[in-house]
Amino acid sequence: MTESLGLKFDEVPELYDRVRPGYPDELFTDLAALTGLRAGAPVLEVGCGTGQATRSMAARGWSVTAVEPGPALAELARQRLAAFPNVTVETAAFEQWPDRGRRFDVLVAASSWHWIDPEIGRRRAADLAGHLALLDFTVVRRPGDPEVYAATADLHERFSPGNPAWGHPPLEEQVLAEPRRWYPVVQWFDGRGFADLLRTQSLYRELDPAVREPLLNAVADRIRTRLNDRAPRRYLCSLRLDPL
């Protein structure tokens, strides 16, 4: 796993747990139907964070082994999932994780597979499981929504000029044209909440705090003053299932 940036989330585990979106129930219904997963089925989750996807899998009775490289995230996941005896959270990077001969019906990676070393990840997944289920969120926008990025473009350029990652999310209809299963998700935030969400995003975590915090405070203030202190973060959650 790319520790230099991937583990940045471990700096803010409580915030990550509070503001990151959960995964739609329909996604796990589809995952069960496509793979034949039933109660008691062994599932390996790679990069569980604080357990946003783990909770849904645990509630279905699957036997989940969740691997998380961030010690603080893993510990919070253990606390949040303590009511589920069918879940074990292990602290390790997937590339070095000791599997001890265990095998699984499905390997699930929820918004985490892009952190895995590609030369190791696919090969190791094939050794461990019958299917690879990739869950991801794509930020999108709809015409007529309050547009945070348009309203704050000047602030981003002022505090971190020339950053090539700044830009508007694609339109929802453009993303829906891609061939995979999509599940709409939307969160609404006030200015402070939206800034807190951005504090958990890799694009902002990699900024120097002396740049990040003034920028996000200015974003929060802009949402309050120009967007009536209410703005959406709209996603399309996706499921892609690959046989191994």
State pLDDT tens for residues 181-190: 999 999 999 9
Weakest-pLDDT range from 9-13, 23-27, 28-32: 9-13
Mean pLDDT of the 75-96 span = 97
Q: Poorest-confidence range of 3-17, 51-65, 77-91, 206-220?
A: 3-17
Residue 146 has pLDDT above 70, yes or no: yes
- Mean pLDDT along residues 199-207: 92
Given a cut of 70, whether residue 89 has pLDDT beyond it is yes
Sign of the alpha-carbon dihedral angle for 3, 79, 50, 63: positive
Label the pairing between strands 42-46 and 63-68: parallel
pLDDT at 6: 54
Using the predicted structure, report yes or no on whether residue 2 has a pLDDT greater than 70.
Answer: no
pLDDT given at position 1: 43
The pLDDT of 41-52, averaged and rounded, is 97
The continuous run of DSSP H or E covering 60 comes out as none
Q: What is the pTM of this model?
A: 0.92
Given a contact cutoff of 8 angstroms between Cβ atoms, the answer to whether 129 and 103 are in contact is yes
Residues 6+ apart with CB under 8 A from 238: 134, 135, 136, 137, 138, 180, 181, 182, 183
| CA–CA distance, 92 with 96 (Å, rounded to integer) | 7
Mean pLDDT of 136-165: 90
What average pLDDT does the segment 102-129 reach? Answer: 96
CATH topology of domain 3-138+237-243: Rossmann fold (3.40.50)
**What three-state secondary structure class fits 161?**
coil
Q: Is 36 exposed, middle or buried (0-12, 13-18, 19+ CB in 10 A)?
A: exposed
The domain limits of the chain are 3-138+237-243, 144-167+187-236
pLDDT value for 101: 96
